[in-house]
């Protein structure tokens, strides 16, 4: 039982508060380390000299400026000085104003001064286990072990000789030497450790409120169960971050990451109580990958490092951003820089289309300059196999310049619009020296088909293409021996000029069953007879003074009584006379 100190029979708050009550802890005891004070030392350089560094450090309520002998850390330069012991103070650095309990202790860099005496950086504390970073990044010039030294400076005092003398006169003036006593002032009066070791810290996903020193916890120490909602606020998740630089992108697991404060920010933010909330750029974002690291697909090329991928690493989904289709006339097989198609080739996607992965040969009879998306026709040479061959036209019986039924290589070639040459001319033409012209073969008499030649003096007719009655390359006449009565267009023979046959006899003869011609029976006064056999003959032309009638010719005379020409009755029968008379009348009119 604790008794009140007042004697009034009851407890008096004015007297008994400290006896009977524990002071409530303030919310700032739930505050975690919010600012990397030692990290401030990274800013030392041309843009921030030693004065700038000290100002930045002291602007943070959780930071403190530490000093020590020259050549230990950042050089103080113009703000260096001597301490009360006349020791030079020439180094400085930013550290922590107190030792955070969750660290399990603090370290203070130590070493030898110029007099080989033990000294220690004073004025601030540092987090254990950061010696390697201090040496590599923060500019600490001694060893890692020297950095990780136990702190003692905060237990020391600064002492000066006391003004007390051994003897004084009646007026109080000193009449003897100093007494040797010292006046000492502790180097630090505040506790080394932060807060009470019985208070809980805000949970990892919370941050302490601003001005926590003005808000009290529910009891003499702060607990997560009773005071979290009073003293702490929930930290925002990285997926809510806005305003990050364009060259950064949220991390893929941003929803699982927490920002430093209740709002994600791209810059350091100083709260109303002076606490600095660090930027969340490093926590929430990755620098966007450079498109230069992405391999583009065939038919495209990389835009280069000036373009960025959507996230920290480039994926296939970034092809649209990072890659551009090859221009017409160019190609890229594996995503390398697009290159012009060579002469005689065109970009495989064809005329007007981008994104070619290869180039295609123009083929026979066409050409292209470098960097083209189509081919041009070579200048034509008349008579050259410029359309893949020749075809026989049944309607005309001639070969014509057209696609052949059998595909043949093009004979026309060129490497420009005025450089055409021919390898082979069509039938009926021969190639001149220089291969730039096809000239027509000389005509072979009695040849109805294709003419062949290799020069102006060498010309033949194609096999089986002579007119009837002729044979061989020169279309010679078929042998007519024994077939003298055969018509000129009725004689045939094989390609060697043998096996002559007659299919048509000359007028006045007929074809017998042996394919031989015999003369028709010759009537008197008949000049030309016609027959189809030995017993069938008709006169088609009589000698002058006679007129064809029946199978023979009757003599003409003038009938004075009727005034017409008539056939002599002594040579024709009456019915035949009448028929002939009609012919005579018609003949008379034509005279």
Q: What is the pLDDT of residues 425-464, one digit of tens each?
A: 888 889 888 888 888 888 888 888 888 888 888 888 877 7
Domain extents in the chain? 33-159+181-186, 526-590
Query: Residues 575, 550: contact at Cβ < 8 Å?
Result: no
What is the predicted pLDDT for the residue at 490?
84
Give Cβ neighbours of residue 189 (< 8 Å, ≥ 6 apart).
none
Q: Per-residue confidence at 575, pLDDT binned at 50, 70, 90? A: very low
Highest average pLDDT, of 318-322, 456-460, 466-470, 544-548, comes from 318-322
Q: Per-residue confidence at 403, pLDDT binned at 50, 70, 90? A: very low
CA dihedral over 424, 429, 434, 436, signed as positive or negative: negative
What is the predicted pLDDT for the residue at 590?
43
Nearest one of 140, 137, 157 to 149, comparing CA atoms: 140
50 class by beta-carbon count within 10 Å (0-12 exposed, 13-18 middle, 19+ buried): middle
Q: How far apart are CA 102 and CA 448, in angstroms?
A: 114
Q: Per-residue confidence at 280, pLDDT binned at 50, 70, 90? A: very high
- What would the two tokens of residue 316 be? 């296939």
Q: How far apart are CA 430 and CA 274, in angstroms?
A: 102
What is the predicted pLDDT for the residue at 215?
92
What is the predicted pLDDT for the residue at 388?
43
0.85 exceeded by the pTM? no
Where would I find the beta strands (DSSP E) of 406-482?
A: 412-413, 421-422, 429-431, 438-440, 451-455, 458-461, 470-471, 476-477
**Unique residue bearing structure tokens 């309607």:** 395
Write out pLDDT tens, residues 40-64.
999 999 999 999 999 999 988 788 9
Query: Residues 165, 179: contact at Cβ < 8 Å?
Result: yes
Q: How far apart are CA 300 and CA 85, in angstroms?
A: 74
pLDDT > 70: what percent of the chain? 87
DSSP string spanning 85-152? T--EE-EEEEEESSB-GGGTS-B--EEE-TTS-EEE-BS-BB-TT-HHHHHHTS---S-HHHHSPBP-
Write out pLDDT tens, residues 109-128.
999 988 888 999 999 999 99
Query: In the predicted model, is pLDDT for residue 393 greater than 80?
Result: no
Q: How far apart are CA 143 and CA 137, in angstroms?
A: 13
What is the predicted pLDDT for the residue at 34?
59
């Amino acid at each position: 039982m604790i008794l009140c100190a007042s004697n009034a029979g009851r407890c008096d708050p004015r007297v008994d508060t400290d006896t009977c009550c524990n002071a409530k802890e303030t919310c700032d005891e739930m505050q975690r380390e919010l600012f990397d004070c030692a990290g401030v030392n990274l800013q030392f350089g041309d843009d921030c000299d030693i004065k700038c560094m000290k100002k930045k450090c002291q602007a943070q309520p959780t930071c403190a400026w530490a000093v020590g002998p020259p050549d230990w850390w950042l050089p103080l330069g113009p703000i260096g000085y001597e301490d009360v012991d006349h020791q030079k103070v020439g180094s400085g650095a930013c550290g922590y104003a107190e030792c955070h309990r969750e660290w399990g202790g603090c370290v203070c860099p130590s070493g030898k001064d110029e007099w080989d005496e033990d000294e220690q950086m004073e004025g601030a504390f540092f987090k254990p286990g950061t010696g390697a970073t201090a040496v590599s990044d923060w500019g600490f010039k001694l060893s890692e072990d020297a950095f990780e030294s136990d702190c003692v400076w905060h237990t020391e005092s600064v002492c000066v000789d006391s003004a007390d003398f051994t003897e004084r006169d009646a007026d109080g003036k000193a009449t003897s030497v100093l007494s040797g006593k010292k006046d000492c002032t502790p180097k630090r009066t505040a506790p080394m450790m932060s807060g009470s070791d019985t208070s809980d810290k805000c949970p990892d996903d919370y941050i302490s409120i601003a001005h926590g020193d003005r808000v009290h916890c529910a009891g003499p120490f702060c607990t997560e169960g009773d005071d979290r909602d009073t003293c702490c606020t929930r930290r925002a998740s990285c997926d809510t971050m806005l305003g990050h630089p364009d060259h950064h992108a949220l991390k893929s697991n941003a929803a699982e990451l927490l920002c430093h404060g209740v709002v994600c920010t791209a810059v350091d933010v100083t709260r109303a109580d002076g606490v600095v909330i660090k930027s969340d750029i490093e926590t929430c974002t990755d620098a966007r990958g450079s498109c230069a690291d992405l391999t583009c697909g065939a038919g495209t090329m990389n835009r280069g490092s000036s373009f960025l991928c959507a996230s920290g690493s480039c994926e296939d989904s970034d092809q649209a951003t990072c890659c551009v289709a090859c221009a017409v006339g160019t190609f890229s097989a594996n995503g390398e820089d697009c290159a012009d198609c060579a002469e005689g080739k065109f970009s495989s996607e064809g005329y007007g289309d981008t994104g070619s992965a290869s180039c295609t040969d123009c083929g026979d009879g066409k050409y292209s300059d470098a960097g083209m998306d189509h081919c041009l026709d070579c200048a034509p040479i008349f008579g050259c196999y410029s359309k893949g061959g020749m075809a026989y036209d049944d309607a005309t019986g001639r070969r014509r310049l057209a696609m052949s039924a059998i595909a043949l290589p093009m004979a026309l070639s060129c490497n420009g619009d005025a450089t055409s040459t021919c390898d082979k001319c069509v039938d009926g033409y021969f190639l001149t020296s220089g291969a730039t012209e096809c000239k027509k073969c000389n005509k072979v008499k009695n040849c109805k088909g294709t003419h062949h030649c290799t020069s102006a003096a060498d010309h033949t007719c194609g096999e089986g293409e002579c007119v009837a009655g002729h044979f061989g390359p020169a279309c010679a006449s078929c042998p007519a021996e024994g077939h003298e009565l055969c018509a000129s267009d009725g004689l045939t023979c094989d390609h060697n000029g043998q096996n002559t046959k007659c299919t048509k006899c000359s007028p006045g003869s007929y074809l017998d069953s042996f394919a031989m011609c015999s003369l028709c029976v010759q009537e008197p006064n008949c000049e030309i007879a016609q027959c189809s056999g030995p017993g069938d003959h008709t006169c088609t032309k009589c000698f002058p003074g006679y007129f064809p009638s029946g199978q023979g010719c009757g003599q003409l005379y003038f009938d004075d009584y009727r005034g017409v020409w008539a056939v002599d009755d002594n040579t024709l029968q009456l019915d035949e006379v009448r028929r002939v008379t009609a012919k005579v009348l018609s003949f008379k009119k034509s005279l």
